[in-house]
Amino acid sequence: MSRGSGRRGVDEDAHYRERAQRKKELVDRRIARATIDRGVVVVNTGNGKGKSSSGFGMLARSLGHGFRCGVVQFIKGSFSTGEEAFFRRFPDECDYRVMGEGFTWETQDRTRDIAAAEAAWGVAARMLADPDYDFVLLDELNIALTKDYIALDQVLAALAARPEFQHVVVTGRGAPEGLIEAADTVTEMRVVKHAFKAGIKAQHGIEL
């Protein structure tokens, strides 16, 4: 490959260094300006893939930083046993609670769904009040909120009152406006293309 060699290469390199320098300065300025050091609330929402898996990636990263972590899965599907199998390997570092067994359309029982969601929220609320947890993942909490199984006010109050350095990640489609307002970082996962819709069987380790 001849890129970077010859007269044109030298000009390109100089131009490249100049642009890179400007970009670096911009980023350095932003980092310097960002001085509020506290826990953040991250919300992953939208109809696309990656909301939960991004939360689990942040969990892995947090464990890598030596954080004490808690996970509450508000929906136990017939799927998604992979994360559970994996993160249950670290019981001292990660308190992994699957609560939403009765809480999916598979059950077809609204009363039971509400009871399951309330029980899950009870566990979540204790984690959010406990300074021993540096990181709390509330997987699919948004579903329980949009279905009105759990009151948004209750959740916002618990987030506001949590320990200062605690990070919280909330996932699920249809994040309510009030939660988006309260969050620090909100990402919408948007479907561009979906293998499942195209007729490829849901895949262990990827889709599941």
Q: With H, G, I as helix, E, B as strand and everything else as coil, classify residue 68.
A: coil
Q: Can you name the residues that pair with 35 across neighbouring β-strands?
A: none
CA distance 66 to 51: 23
To a second copy, the closest distance from the beta carbon of 197 in angstroms equals 8
To a second copy, the closest distance from the beta carbon of 143 in angstroms equals 13
Q: In the range 165-194, which residues lie near a second copy by CB under 8 A? A: 167, 169, 180, 183-194
Identify the residue among 33, 91, 92, 153 touching a second copy (CB under 8 A): 33
Helix (H) or strand (E) holding 170: strand 167-171
Are 24 and 36 in contact by the 8 Å Cβ rule? The answer is: no
Question: Residue 126, interface with a second copy (CB under 8 A)?
Answer: no
Window contacting a second copy (CB under 8 A); options: 18-26, 95-103, 123-131, 154-162: 18-26
Amino acid at 158: A
> What are the CA-CA distances from residue 46 to residues 6, 58, 174 (Å)?
49, 18, 6
Residue 64 tokens read as 């890598």
Q: In the range 62-81, which residues lie near a second copy by CB under 8 A? A: 62-65, 67, 80-81
Window contacting a second copy (CB under 8 A); options: 95-103, 110-118, 119-127, 155-163: 110-118
Identify the residue among 7, 91, 92, 108 touching a second copy (CB under 8 A): 108
Compare residues 118 and 123 and give the one whose CB is closer to a second copy: 118
DSSP per residue, 86-135: HHTT-TTTEEEEE--TT-STTT--HHHHHHHHHHHHHHHHHHHT-TT-SE
To a second copy, the closest distance from the beta carbon of 126 in angstroms equals 19
Window contacting a second copy (CB under 8 A); options: 95-103, 105-113, 122-130, 152-160: 105-113
